[in-house]
Chain A
Amino acid sequence: MKRKVLINVVGILLAFLLGALVMILQGYNPLETYFRLFEYSLGSPSKISYTLTKSVPLILTGLSASVAFASGPINLGQPGQFLMGALLATIGGLYIDMPPVLMIPFLLVLAMVGGALWSGVAALCKHFFNMSEFITTLMLNMIADFFTFWAISYPFFEENANYPQTPLIAKNGWMPDWGNFGSSVLVMLIAVAIIWFIMNRTTAGYEWRISGQNSLFSRLGGVNVNKNYILVMLLTGALAGLAGGLVVMSGPHRFIKGLGANYAWDGVMIAMVANSGVILTLLFGFFFGILQTGSLGMELITAVPRELIQVLQAVIVLIVVAGRGYFETLFAAMEAKRKMKERTT
């Protein structure tokens, strides 16, 4: 356990060191830049709660990818499922109005249905036609991108707007905010808790994880692999859709063009760096949230372009994952050597 924490921390530090090197080469002061980055995102309780609220979609799409990767299906369709969830929640919010107690859960369920429908298409393609979900989800991402763009430009277009967007959704469907702390954080935490419980404390979660590690073994052990595959795809789609719905309901309260662009690949990235673990996904999702929120402050004060954070994120993923494999073989080799010595003496 300690070793795992150490590997992750060393990987992140190495990535930061590389980032600092790049900054020095371009004449920036890395220490000040990093200080501003963290100061802006973690400097005060209200800033922390703002950052936490901002990392909700990151954590949820990350969770979606984590559950999928841990259980076998390579669902890379989070961006598309996110958009479809956001679109369905928006449409619900445009045409239906209920008291908030009913409205918010209703819209959240709609968002999950939207995401699950979209991942369901990929799941059915695999189930009936054996088409690899790895490519179908990617293609469905592109299609969802154009489809939602069409939806907000024609049927649900706000009249007189000079930018593709829908009108505002009903006020009863807005996620309440307490200062900088959005209630979407609570929804996210509940989702994380449920997923953790399913993955670690139920038979279904056990079957999924075993199928992810060795599909043949689980099939021979009597696991219904096909049924589980469809379930996982629907669940992970629902999670990504939920992220989309929450962004609409707590952020702009409408569907704007480019809504999901910021979260496009972050979910997959977080799942990979978190090694598909639920708790690590939560932590890394928040960490990436810190970086992304802080990048704004960094750019405002130190003039380092915030796009640097995009590079840094990818470097963190590569180094942490490579480091994990490298250190694990290193530790295994050390262990083996020690045992050899013990036996010879």
Chain B
Amino acid sequence: MNIFTGLIKGMISAATPILLAALGGSLTYYAGIFNIAMEGMMLSGAFFAMLGSYYFHSWPIGILFAILGAILMALIFILFAVVLKMDEFITGIGLNLFAVGLTTYMLRQIFSVKGAFSDPGIVSIPKVDIPLIKDIPVLGEILSGHNLIVYLTLLATILVSYIVFKTRFGLRLRAAGYNRTCLDTSGVSANKIRIWSLILCGVLCGLAGAYLSLGYVTLFSEGMSAGRGWISLAAVILVSGNPTGIALISLLFGFTDGLGLFLQQSLPSQFTSMVPYLATLIALFVYSMRLKKKLTV
């Protein structure tokens, strides 16, 4: 039983950052932006979360800093891709590299360390016990006692789903992706919608970053986003942006991550670390097979 609950808890905590970033990616996906900058936004968020938490000894300020740091990246994306009309793909790659450079440079400049920085002064985001539910035998163990961000993620999934499909902003968001000229001619600036979608994506990726450096572990290391932004992009593409689908796919990736840890007893760790990336490839494979079937029928 212990392995079972451990596996599920591991799955949820590994899925959280991917899900958050993918929700941000979903918003920009609906707005018709080829946004591959989630990796950079997440990394920047992780760094600033650590910075805020370290200097103010408080995790809420850490989260605030993370969101601002990720929004900074989103603003740069907006400047180049929306205002200067640069290719979104190149902007995204450039921004990801900029985020890697910036965080490594600041890590070196502010903390005089290379590689990673951890300090007892960094306050991590607390875990939350839900009253009543935590007393239920197995279910309580699974549902309660997670990091605060995990519950925020659940909320964000519902919220994003609601915003995209049930609000006026969501309608305009989808219109911006579907036919932006049409949206422009009906008196709503498609660019404005695109800008908002990118800023919201920044907020969500900032939360994902805060979870990485203040939740998953309590430290910042160079390039700690470790391809999660790319996996979340794959998740967005696999389900064509649908938030509920994204949640399921993220949980699946989280599960493979936990599975990797579990397999470590019998395989070298280098192979078990490959599991999430292999899972992404397999998911892409299944997706394309399904697409092929649809096309031939």
Contacts and interface: CB of A to CB of B under 8 A. Distances in A.
A136 B86 CA distance: 25
Given A129-B285, A318-B98, A321-B87, A311 B105 contact: yes
A9 interface: no
Contacts of A312: 101
Contact of A131 (B86, B91, B95, B285): B285
A135 B284 contact: yes
Given A305-B108, A311-B105, A313-B97, A130 B87 contact: no
Nearest to A164: B270
A143 B278 contact: yes
Interface string A135-155: 110111011001101100110
Interface of A: 26, 74, 125, 129-132, 135-136, 138-140, 142-143, 146-147, 149-150, 153-154, 265, 268-269, 272, 305, 307-308, 310-315, 317-318, 321-322, 325-326
Interface string B94-135: 111110111011011100000000000000000000000000
A153 B281 contact: no
A315 B230 contact: no
Interface residues of B, number: 43
A130 to B, nearest CB: 5
Interface of B: 76, 80, 84-87, 89-91, 93-98, 100-102, 104-105, 107-109, 227, 230, 233-234, 237, 268, 270-271, 273-274, 277-278, 280-281, 284-285, 288-289, 291-292
A187 to B, nearest CB: 27
Nearest to A74: B89
A307 B280 CA distance: 32
A269 B97 contact: yes
A315 B105 contact: no
A7 to B, nearest CB: 13
Contacts of B108: 305, 307
Given A269-B97, A272-B94, A131 B105 contact: no
B226 to A, nearest CB: 8
Contacts of B107: 307
A339 B93 CA distance: 38
B230 A138 contact: yes
B90 A150 contact: no
